[in-house]
């Protein structure tokens, strides 16, 4: 296995950004698949590698795991900020494709994330279903409208959300997971398989249950898992196994 910490200029972001990668290719083994693994708010490109056993799973399945950095952008092309969604979905695969021996077959390309990154992963797959075979959200923000209207949100976080979504915190259809899922169904074509996991003590449990209830009534191949735990790395480490089981042991 190799762990790479890449510092590279991004034309989309107009600055240098970090990408962390774990890959089996140093042993001459072509990667069987590619996983884009997205961090949560307050984390960065290194956090998944530092705080979980993701490298062990990457080695087990011969998977290259790409962990980008998006700050606290909510994986959006920000209203007052940078185009992070364009970066993650368009430029990042091009950068990594040039540098690494990636398997770019959409049938072997996945996206996953936690919390803010769970929202980002679902948004990526529902926006570009031809790019990702499967998506995983751990403790994800599955209802962005409800999140933006949370009366308990701290003033500093409100300002961050306004930078991403605008001063009125208005959600566009291409930022709403429910609207994106409906659009995919109406347009027909390929639908990504989706897994959502959430802890029973997590503050986002209500929105995850509601999202699961909705998705289970659609043509999507959708799986929902909940269990003891809250919004922390103990839960995410435990369900990293759930995520990799879903990606590699379930039907592709």
pLDDT, one tens digit per residue, over 190-237 is 999 999 999 999 999 999 999 999 999 999 999 999 999 999 999 999
Cα–Cα distance for residue pair 143/181, rounded to 1 Å? 12
pLDDT, one tens digit per residue, over 125-179 is 999 999 999 999 999 999 999 999 999 899 999 999 999 999 999 999 999 999 9
pTM of this prediction?
A: 0.96
Confidence of residue 101 (pLDDT cuts 50, 70, 90): confident
What residue ranges do the domains of the chain occupy?
A: 2-246
For the domain spanning 2-246, the CATH number is: 3.40.50.1820
Whole-number pLDDT of residue 30: 63
Nearest to 223 by CA among 202, 201, 243: 243
Residue 251 has pLDDT above 70, yes or no: no
Q: Report the relative pairing of strands 193-199 and 109-114 from DSSP bridges.
A: unpaired
What average pLDDT does the chain have?
A: 95
Strands (E), the chain: 2-10, 15-23, 33-38, 63-68, 109-114, 134-138, 193-199, 222-227
Whole-number pLDDT of residue 250: 58
pLDDT, one tens digit per residue, over 234-247 is 999 999 999 999 99
Confidence of residue 102 (pLDDT cuts 50, 70, 90): confident
Residues in CB range of 152: below 8 A, 6 or more apart: none
Residue 21 has pLDDT above 90, yes or no: yes
Residues in CB range of 3: below 8 A, 6 or more apart: 20, 21, 22, 49, 55
Element (H, E) at 157: helix 155-165
Residue 252 has pLDDT above 50, yes or no: no
């Amino acid at each position: 296995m190799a762990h790479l910490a890449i510092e590279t200029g991004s034309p989309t972001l107009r600055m240098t950004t970090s990408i962390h990668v774990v890959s089996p290719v140093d042993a001459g083994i072509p990667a069987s698949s590619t996983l884009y693994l997205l961090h949560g708010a307050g984390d960065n490109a290194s956090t998944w590698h530092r705080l979980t056993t993701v490298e062990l799973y990457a080695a087990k399945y011969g998977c290259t795991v790409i962990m980008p950095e998006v700050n606290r952008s909510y994986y959006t092309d920000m209203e007052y900020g940078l185009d992070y969604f364009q970066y993650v979905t368009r430029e990042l695969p091009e950068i990594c494709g040039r540098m690494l021996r990636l398997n770019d077959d959409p049938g072997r390309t996945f996206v996953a994330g936690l919390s803010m990154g769970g929202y980002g992963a679902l948004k990526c797959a529902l926006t570009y279903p031809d790019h990702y075979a499967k998506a995983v959200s751990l403790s994800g923000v599955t209802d962005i409208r409800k999140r933006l209207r949370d009366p308990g949100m701290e003033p500093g976080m409100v300002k961050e959300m306004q930078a991403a979504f605008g001063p009125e915190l208005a959600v566009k259809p291409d930022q709403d997971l429910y609207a994106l899922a409906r659009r995919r169904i109406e347009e027909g074509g390929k639908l990504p398989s989706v897994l959502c996991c959430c802890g029973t003590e997590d503050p986002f449990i209500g929105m995850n249950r509601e999202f699961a209830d909705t998705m289970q009534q659609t043509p999507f191949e959708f799986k929902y898992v909940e269990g003891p735990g809250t919004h922390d790395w103990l839960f995410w480490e435990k369900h990293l196994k759930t995520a990799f089981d879903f990606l590699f042991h379930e039907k592709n």
